[in-house]
């Protein structure tokens, strides 16, 4: 079991979580290879935070199993904590703690605390050690949370929307801080975000959650390579149209027919040409932002 765990420090198998009648996470199976960064995206309420809270042992799954760095969560949650660095969606350091107090508090629990790294990040982030957590700006609070989560050199880092609500400059500094640590330590990182430019910059693989299910899990580059938008011009306005296999989402506006397809291949174009009366066709590349939106829209329309 530990050999497979070596390959995937984050492993979820058929994980489901209910809140009353609501299915927050629905049969989620996910495994994240070591030393890769996984970007977790999805609309608000898609189940990302619930999934993350289960991974860090703050919430029990209704069914299914979770292993983090080879340790079963939540059964061995006390043992897993030194292996995980967790940055929550909202800072939760004791508001009355000064920055230095928060650091010594966490250090007192972490046997493998790396003080040199901590000092380096303190300097990089320009955090005032005397300031109380409740008086920190949003950006500083996020940086403090990150510093507290990262200085014990955990094998797995789990960030829940770490940069949401931060200004672009602070966001950049935050990400630089994360990278300065992860780039030398081969850590496995999972982070959720609504900022797709951050996801595209940092993630090797992405997963799209929608209504508790994982819609898609793929390498970012491959996804961009294989997802295309076919634009066809129909002979008749709002005319009859038959979509090709692999269609993710389509929209007709007047004569313009936009089809987003996955696993893009020549047959799809031929299909569109042969089954429909069209006067023009071209193929466009898509940004991650558009890919994400179309996958989610397609899913919403399928319901």
- Binding residues for other proteins, rule: CB under 8 A, are 35-37, 56-60, 74, 77-78, 81-82, 84, 86, 88, 90, 92-96, 104-106, 108-111, 172, 175-176, 179-180, 182-184, 196-198, 200-204, 220-221, 224-225, 280, 282, 284-289
Question: Comparing C-alpha atoms, which of 207, 249, 204 is closest to residue 230?
Answer: 249
Residue 165 near residue 193 (C-beta atoms within 8 A): no
Closest contact distance (angstroms) between CB of 197 and other proteins is: 4
Residue 95 or 254: the one with the smaller Cβ distance to other proteins is 95
Residue 90 or 275: the one with the smaller Cβ distance to other proteins is 90
Residue 90 or 301: the one with the smaller Cβ distance to other proteins is 90
Distances (CA, A) of 9 to 68, 75, 235: 5, 16, 53
Closest contact distance (angstroms) between CB of 81 and other proteins is: 4
Question: Comparing C-alpha atoms, which of 297, 3, 78, 30 is closest to residue 190?
Answer: 30
Q: Around Cβ 92, how many Cβ atoms within 10 Å?
A: 11
Residue 111 or 302: the one with the smaller Cβ distance to other proteins is 111
Closest contact distance (angstroms) between CB of 30 and other proteins is: 19
Burial of 3 from C-beta contacts in 10 A (0-12 / 13-18 / 19+): exposed
Q: φ, ψ for residue 260 (rounded to 5)?
A: -95, 125
152: three-class secondary structure by DSSP: coil
Residue 2 or 183: the one with the smaller Cβ distance to other proteins is 183
**Nearby residues of 172 by Cβ (< 8 Å), 6 or more positions away:** none
**Nearby residues of 53 by Cβ (< 8 Å), 6 or more positions away:** 59
Q: φ, ψ for residue 38 (rounded to 5)?
A: -115, 125
Closest contact distance (angstroms) between CB of 98 and other proteins is: 11
Closest contact distance (angstroms) between CB of 111 and other proteins is: 8
Question: 214 has which bridge partners?
Answer: 209
Closest contact distance (angstroms) between CB of 303 and other proteins is: 28
Residue 197 or 274: the one with the smaller Cβ distance to other proteins is 197
Q: Is the peptide bond before 74 cis (omega within 30 degrees of 0)?
A: yes
Residue 173 or 211: the one with the smaller Cβ distance to other proteins is 173
Closest contact distance (angstroms) between CB of 57 and other proteins is: 7
Question: Comparing C-alpha atoms, which of 54, 56, 60, 127 is closest to residue 87?
Answer: 56
Residue 78 or 237: the one with the smaller Cβ distance to other proteins is 78
Closest contact distance (angstroms) between CB of 101 and other proteins is: 9
Q: Map tokens 């970012």 to a residue.
A: 220
Strands 213-219 and 205-210: antiparallel
């Amino acid at each position: 079991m530990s050999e497979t765990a070596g390959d995937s420090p984050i492993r979820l198998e058929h994980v489901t979580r209910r809140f009353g009648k609501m299915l927050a996470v629905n049969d989620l199976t996910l495994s994240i290879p070591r030393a890769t960064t996984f970007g977790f995206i999805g609309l608000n309420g898609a189940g990302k935070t619930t999934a993350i809270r289960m991974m860090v042992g703050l919430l029990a799954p209704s069914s299914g199993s979770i292993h983090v760095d080879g340790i079963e969560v939540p059964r061995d949650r006390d043992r897993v904590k030194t292996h995980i660095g967790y940055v929550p969606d909202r800072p939760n350091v004791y508001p009355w703690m000064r920055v230095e107090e928060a650091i010594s508090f966490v250090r007192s629990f972490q046997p493998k605390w790396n003080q040199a790294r901590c000092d380096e990040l303190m300097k990089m982030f320009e955090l005032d050690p005397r300031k109380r957590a409740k008086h920190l700006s949003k950006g500083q609070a996020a940086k403090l949370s990150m510093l507290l989560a990262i200085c014990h050199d955990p094998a797995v880092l789990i960030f829940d929307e770490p940069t949401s609500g931060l200004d672009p400059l602070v966001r950049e500094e935050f990400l630089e801080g994360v990278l300065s640590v992860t780039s030398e330590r081969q850590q496995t990182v999972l982070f959720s975000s609504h900022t797709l430019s951050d996801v595209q910059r940092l993630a090797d693989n992405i997963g799209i959650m929608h209504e508790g299910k994982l819609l898609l899990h793929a390498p970012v580059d491959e996804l961009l390579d294989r997802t295309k938008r076919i634009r066809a011009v129909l002979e008749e306005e709002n005319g009859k149209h038959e979509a090709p296999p692999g269609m993710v989402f389509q929209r007709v506006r007047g004569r313009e027919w936009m089809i987003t397809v996955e696993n893009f291949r020549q047959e799809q174009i031929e299909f569109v040409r042969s089954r429909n009366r069209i006067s023009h066709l071209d193929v466009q590349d898509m940004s991650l932002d558009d890919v994400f939106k179309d996958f989610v829209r397609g899913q919403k329309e399928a319901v």
